[in-house]
Structure 1
């Protein structure tokens, strides 16, 4: 049987972090050594190590008492699980409190955390504060789906897009799945409600000729022009272009053909993954003269409505009527690489995609076999009445 104990851990700040240690026994390894099996639950409760004032001592006492209460609940959960006793306490937990807890567990993954946070705002509008897991049923879940589909709006009062509805409902779904796994729900009700299908979004990109036209056309903000073309040649996102520092730009010698080797080593803002990306000599030229290692490469670049407007005007002067955003440069890079013979795995690695299926969307855009198939059928000799 699992044993739970309350423990303290001294932090660098001088405070003590309270946590629960779950001892799950041990197993004997192949080499004969014993490995003890433990899990830990950090309670986010902190004690002042050497309290001086009466207030500090009072707060320590309250936090320690709360930690002991949590420990008692966890020990009861373990006991109930062993003897298959229904846990009535968990069913009384409010849905919104549990969602908040699950959201905070994702704090380190910013993109995912932001989606959980955005979905929470809509859940709070739909779900009354007093609703507990004992109140959650299939009709309640269907009601939230209908709310997202017919009522929910953005800050600008626009209806949610198909992909946004898909994302928000999936966060709600993940919350209920976790609630079932952890014993807050008796039945996995979310399986009985169909979610939203993912809509296929249009990925606007530039052809090779259009990119050349942009390169030849003057932009009112030269810094924006350099940054956009750099993104088109490398495929890195706006967020990573914007924060790129000179310490991340490397000159790594000369290859066998006598060409300089350039690489950027950076941490993706979206995924936190470290990327080692080779770049062309022309891409390096767009960065300009090397500055202090801590300085931003594109100093002065910032996301704004004015910057977006100048990007559109630049495209217009180049004769490009597509709705181009800075992210279109990344799409352009992917499409041009595939069109010029790069394999999809290489493109996926260069773009920093975690899954190959994300990159496959670009392969669909430039499917040459589909283009060829359009002209496979022999041309007909046509005589059509009324057509000149």
Structure 2
């Protein structure tokens, strides 16, 4: 049997004639926030190192009593985890608040899923309520529920698949941090993605856009920049001048993509660099707002004579499709798009596959 973790209350001298109280764990425990092994936990409780009056001595005694109560509670929690006892206090933890805090360092989609989940549980969810049945009911809610906004209809299937995948990622992290006693994902089924039509612009259409005035100049520059680099709107909004550096053979963008959190060194052409404007400090596209990719974008595309439904993300599709059409290897395209797997990139090669075109022409009735 593993050695039971012991918890000691320690003191440490700090500035100002004070003592800082902290907990010392042996063996070390895993920090639920960093997932690293740790020996210490600061309590934020301080004592007078040399109490001079009855009031200061009374204060020290009161703080030591509170610290000892925390030490006992930590030991009880560790004991419950080690021997499988139900920790009633942990079960009362606010799971919705835990989800909300996770969103801070995640892709924007996490925030959208959080809002759906908050609607589902009506703004209140404790850790003890997160069970297999509860999660399956949330899956059903996504599959059958309507949108969060006022538009009619249900969520698109692939949106649901993505939201459900994100929620399962949350459950995995909660299990790894030992908040959940079992990996609920083992009992949940994946929602499979459906193949969808990839909408993209031809090179001539991109040139039309470049020649068409746009009400928001920064939107035009960002859109054309996406066509030349393949960056998502989220990464373009966070792109700073510190990310664009001079290399031996030209400029490159060194950044961590928001969606996949992949570190990438992406070459940038002089033409794309010109769209960034004059070099300065901070963000490259400072005035770019999310609201611009809705009606203003549609109006600009319509003025260019393009009647298909084109979203900002289609510019990324355009970049990948044009690369494939010009014979760039699929592995290279995958790296340029910062895809984790070449499988995600293959759809672009299929759109412009010359072998398919040749095969289609082999049969003729003329």
TM-score (norm 2): 0.74
8 Å contact 2:47–2:63 — kept in the other structure?
no
Aligned to 1:70: 74
In structure 2, what is the equivalent of residue 40 of structure 1? 38
Task: Return the offset for 1:206.
Answer: 0.7
Find the partner of 2:114 among 117, 133, 140. Answer: 117
Q: Tell me which of 183, 193, 199 is aligned to 2:194.
A: 199
The answer to whether the Cα contact below 8 Å between 2:96 and 2:118 also exists between their aligned partners in 1 is no
The residue that corresponds to 1:209 in the other structure is 204
In the TM superposition, residue 202 of structure 1 has moved relative to its aligned partner by: 4.0
- What residue is the counterpart of 1:93 in the other structure? 91
Name the residue aligned to 2:290: 303
Judged with a 3 Å threshold, the aligned counterparts in structure 2 of structure 1 residues 228 and 49 are, in CA distance, closer, same or farther, namely: same
Q: Report if the CA contact (8 A) 2:46-2:63 is conserved.
A: no
Q: Are 1:223 and 2:218 counterparts?
A: yes
Partners of 1:183 and 1:289 in 2: CA distance: 49
What is the RMSD of the two structures over their aligned residues, measured on CA atoms? Answer: 4.2
Question: Could you say which residue in structure 2 is the equivalent of 1:151?
Answer: 145
Per-residue CA shift, 1:143-163, capped at 9, x if unaligned?
333332223542336523323
Quote the Cα distance in structure 1 between the aligned partners of 2:44 and 2:322.
Answer: 57
Give the Cα separation in 2 of the matches to 1:89 and 1:19: 20
TM-score by length of 1: 0.70
CA distance in structure 2 between the aligned counterparts of 1:270 and 1:87, rounded to whole angstroms: 38
Q: What is the Cα deviation at residue 185 of structure 1?
A: 5.5
Structure 1 segment 278-289 matched on structure 2, within 5 A: 278-289=267-278
Q: Does 1:324 align with 2:310?
A: yes
Structure 2 match to 1:83: none
CA contact (8 A) 1:90 1:184 kept: no
Q: Which residue of the partner structure matches residue 6 of structure 1? A: 7
Structure 1, unpaired ranges of 5+: 25-37, 81-85, 256-260, 382-388
Shift, 1:336, TM fit: 0.7
Q: In the aligned structure 2, how far is the partner of 1:199 from the partner of 1:263? A: 35
**CA distance in 2 between partners of 1:114 and 1:331 (Å):** 24
Counterparts of residues 101-112 of structure 1 (less than 5 Å)? 101=98, 104=101, 108-111=105-108
